[in-house]
């Protein structure tokens, strides 16, 4: 059983559904997994996940990816 406080559980659940690349419907866990597997740049994440290839060409998702690479998200 998960003994984490309720607020931590809610935060984890929200992250599961948090969009990173809105154009391609790519959510936080997929990008986090790419980073955990060794992606170290936006290009690495893009190659692994498909982020940045949507209609905005990364305008919306690149800042989020950069924050995730910096460990801020």
Report, in Å, the least distance between residue 56 CB and ligand FES: 3
Largest Cα–Cα distance in the chain? 42
In whole angstroms, give the CA distance from residue 29 to residue 19. 9
Report, in Å, the least distance between residue 9 CB and ligand FES: 28
Residue tagged 């949507």 (tokens)? 54
In whole angstroms, give the CA distance from residue 29 to residue 46. 14
Q: Is 52 one of the binding residues for ligand FES (CB under 6 A)?
A: yes
Residues of span 9-48 touching ligand FES by CB under 6 A: 21-24
Nearer to ligand FES, 34 or 52 (CB): 52
């Amino acid at each position: 059983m998960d003994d984490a406080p309720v607020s931590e559980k809610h935060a984890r659940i929200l992250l599961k559904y948090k969009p990173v690349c809105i154009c391609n419907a790519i959510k936080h866990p997929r990008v986090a997994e790419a980073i955990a597997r060794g992606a170290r740049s936006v290009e690495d994440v893009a190659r692994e996940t498909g982020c940045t290839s949507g209609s905005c060409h990364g305008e919306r998702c690149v800042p989020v990816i950069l924050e995730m690479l910096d460990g801020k998200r």
